[in-house]
Amino acid sequence: MNKAKTALFLGILCISIFPVIVRMNLTSSLISAFYRMAIATALIFPFALLLGKIKIVKGKELMGIVLRFGILRFKILLLLRRLC
């Protein structure tokens, strides 16, 4: 139960800080979104890695993922060009 409360607290903290900063006009929303994701990743990634919840991908499997992402991105760009 303690792990669940800690994870909930970290999630709420990561998600709720930056909308307040944007509302105060200290940063733009794009910068806030980047930092929100970066800080959430920096806080959550070590815990997930230590608990074995993350699988480190190597070699051919990584190349397959990168290739699929590249093809998907290319298809989205073609679709956007067609719509504009």
Query: Would you list the DSSP string of 15-74?
Result: HHHHHHHHHTTSS-HHHHHHHHHHHHHHHHHHHHHHTT--PPP-HHHHHHHHHHHHHHHH
pLDDT computed for residue 27 by the predictor: 67
Contacts of 77 (CB under 8 A, 6+ apart): none
Mean pLDDT, residues 45-58 taken together:
76
pLDDT computed for residue 1 by the predictor: 58
pLDDT computed for residue 34 by the predictor: 81
Q: How many CA atoms lie within 13 A of 58 on its CB side?
A: 1
Q: Where are the domains of the chain?
A: 1-53, 56-84
pLDDT at 5 over 80: yes
pLDDT computed for residue 81 by the predictor: 81
